[in-house]
Amino acid sequence: MPASVAFAQNQPSRALLENDQIRVRELRLAPGAKQPAEARPNTFLYALTDGSLVFTPPGRTAYELTFKAGEALWIPSQETATANEGDKEVRALVVEIRGRPPAAAAKKGRPSKAGKKSSKKGGATKK
């Protein structure tokens, strides 16, 4: 069995980065592989291979999403099962958007806007 197929059967994704706001993983689904239904946040998917995935939201009609390698897709937040019903392994970079940082943290790390002058002590004032 090829290593990529064994990886897909035993572990469909590999975490690349994870924190409170985002989870980035490499997804590998072998032909016939399925993931159980679970709530998924807003997701950016970057296809590493041509392929298609079948999404089955509980109590709703399943739908297929087909893509080409190099294509970027947005998948809105939803609860769904996922399956590769094709005959080729599907590989993708998956970026799940978990949430926004608290307002205080966002202000602290925010870069200043270009073209605006500082109104802090000792600095120039806005006109």
> Residue 23: its pLDDT value, please?
95
**Gap between the Cα atoms of 56 and 47, Å rounded:** 20
pLDDT above 70 coverage of the chain, percent: 70
pTM to 2 decimals? 0.69
* 91 contacts 28 by C-beta, under 8 angstroms: yes
> Residue 12: its pLDDT value, please?
74
The string of pLDDT tens digits covering residues 2-61 is 433 333 344 577 899 999 999 999 999 999 999 999 999 999 999 999 999 999 999 999
| Residues 6+ away with beta carbon under 8 Å from 24 | 15, 16, 17, 18, 93, 94, 95, 96
- CA distance to 2, 27, 33, 82, 108, per residue, from 7 (Å): 9, 10, 11, 17, 41
More confident site: 12 or 75: 75
pLDDT above 90 coverage of the chain, percent: 65
